[in-house]
């Protein structure tokens, strides 16, 4: 299992994590945005500059920075090849270390690059977005998009360390805070009604970063507990897919039409859809559904969906990796904290769900 560190001293914790690997060469993967906003927060650290705590030069020298384009549109095999090429041209060996400094796209793609280069090199994730902190960087999932489908190619491979520093949260705009918060809401829903209520009561418009840090730690603990029990998604880990079967379809549809949306926004819209199915089929409380529906509409707006696109949404759902024997596989709830995995729905059920989403 990966070592998940809720950081209090980023410089010391990163130095310790690097020293545990003792790499011959050090690389840092960033995107256009994190190179500008986040790399300066660590670029002066002795461990990044190739020095020990006393400032003495280390044999590995300073870190080599690999910069890729930002946004999920860059999460492709072409970008992956670019990272492999940069590693190879700059002397990476099986004993090198890659630090992924960025959001979920960087940690997913960087983790996959590290997992496959020379059959696997060590890597550390330093998530810089709220979404990556509570979702992408924890749990060992890596991958890239392929043929218009989210995370179609990838492997399970744990980072050596994941360092969560909420100092990066203040580099985020409101949209990216809200995107990550959708995954936190999902964690609350699969955890308990009290956790759900706490998250619904948070003032997302006037962020209290101290309180947000506390909620982030709780959210990570929910995911870590589930991943520890089921690292390869054989059973319980499917709870984390709540909102994602429909959400990924919305995300892929938006990408295919040239209007990409943030992952967390798609998950928030997917939560409303899948909680509707939970209410009609599994007894999920209607009052809580309406509260979440209101919160999502106020915070994330609405996904622009036309009934003529239902077949396309359905087709995208048929490609979901969770599906079994051709059946669309859903995670539903009977109430917050009561998870029902491996639920299926007919095409008519799903179209009724989409009708509800469009009309409410």
Measure the CA–CA gap between 247 and 274, rounded to whole angstroms: 9
Any catalytic annotation for residue 25? no
Any catalytic annotation for residue 35? no
Any catalytic annotation for residue 232? no
Query: Which entry of 141, 178, 238, 322 is annotated as an active-site residue?
Result: 141
Any catalytic annotation for residue 187? no
Query: Which entry of 244, 251, 274, 288 is annotated as an active-site residue?
Result: 244
Q: State phi, psi for 92 to the nearest 5 degrees.
A: -65, 140
Query: Which entry of 25, 186, 238, 263 is annotated as an active-site residue?
Result: 263
Any catalytic annotation for residue 183? yes
Any catalytic annotation for residue 223? yes
Query: Which entry of 64, 75, 186, 223 is annotated as an active-site residue?
Result: 223
Any catalytic annotation for residue 302? no
Measure the CA–CA gap between 286 and 127, rounded to whole angstroms: 35
Counting other chains too, the contacts that 202-209 makes at CB distance below 8 Å and 24 or more residues apart are 204/177, 204/178, 204/299, 207/177, 209/166, 209/169, 209/170
Are 157 and 120 in contact by the 8 Å Cβ rule? The answer is: yes
Any catalytic annotation for residue 237? yes
Query: Which entry of 13, 35, 183, 251 is annotated as an active-site residue?
Result: 183
Q: Where are the beta strands (DSSP E) in the chain?
A: 3-6, 26-31, 64-68, 97-102, 122-127, 144-146, 149-153, 161-164, 329-335, 338-344
Any catalytic annotation for residue 119? yes
Query: Which entry of 100, 151, 176, 241 is annotated as an active-site residue?
Result: 241
Any catalytic annotation for residue 157? no
Query: Which entry of 13, 176, 178, 233 is annotated as an active-site residue?
Result: 233
Measure the CA–CA gap between 184 and 129, rounded to whole angstroms: 13
Q: State phi, psi for 95 to the nearest 5 degrees.
A: -105, 15
From the CB of residue 320, how many other CB atoms can be counted at a distance below 10 Å?
19
Q: Take residue 105 and report the two structure tokens written for it.
A: 């796209």
Query: Which entry of 119, 234, 259, 308 is annotated as an active-site residue?
Result: 119
Query: Which entry of 64, 237, 288, 322 is annotated as an active-site residue?
Result: 237
Residues with active-site annotation: 119, 141, 183, 223, 233, 237, 241, 244, 248, 263
């Amino acid at each position: 299992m990966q070592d998940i560190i809720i950081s209090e001293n980023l410089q010391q914790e990163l130095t310790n994590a690097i020293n545990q690997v003792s790499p011959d060469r050090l690389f840092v993967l960033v995107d256009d945005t994190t190179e500008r906003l986040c790399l300066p927060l660590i670029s002066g650290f002795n461990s990044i500059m190739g020095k020990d705590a006393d400032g003495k030069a280390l044999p590995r020298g300073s870190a080599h920075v690999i910069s890729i384009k930002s946004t999920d549109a860059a999460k492709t095999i072409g970008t992956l090849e670019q990272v492999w090429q940069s590693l190879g041209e700059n002397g990476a060996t099986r004993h090198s270390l890659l630090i992924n400094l960025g959001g979920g796209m960087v940690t997913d793609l960087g983790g996959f690059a590290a997992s496959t280069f020379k059959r696997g090199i060590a890597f550390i994730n330093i998530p810089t977005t709220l979404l990556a902190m509570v979702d992408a960087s924890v749990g060992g999932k890596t991958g890239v998009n392929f043929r218009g489908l989210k995370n179609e190619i990838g492997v399970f491979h744990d980072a050596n360390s994941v360092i969560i520093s909420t100092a990066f949260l203040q580099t985020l705009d409101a949209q990216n805070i809200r995107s990550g918060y959708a995954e936190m809401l999902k964690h609350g829903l699969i955890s308990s009604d009290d956790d759900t209520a706490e998250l619904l009561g948070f003032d997302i418009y006037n962020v209290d970063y101290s309180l947000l840090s506390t909620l982030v730690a709780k959210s990570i603990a929910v995911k870590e507990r589930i991943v520890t029990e089921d690292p390869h998604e054989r059973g319980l880990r499917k709870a984390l897919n709540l909102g994602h079967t429909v959400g990924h379809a919305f995300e892929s549809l938006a990408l295919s039409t040239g209007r990409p949306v943030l992952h967390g926004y798609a998950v928030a819209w997917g939560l409303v859809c899948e909680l509707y199915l939970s209410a009609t089929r599994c007894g999920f409380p209607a009052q809580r559904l309406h509260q979440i529906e209101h919160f999502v509409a106020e915070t994330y707006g609405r996904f622009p969906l036309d009934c003529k696109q239902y077949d396309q949404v359905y087709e995208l759902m048929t490609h979901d990796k969770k599906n079994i024997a051709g059946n669309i596989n859903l995670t539903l709830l009977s109430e917050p904290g009561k998870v029902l995995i491996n639920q299926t729905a007919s095409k008519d059920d799903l179209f009724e769900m989409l009708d509800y989403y469009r009309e409410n």
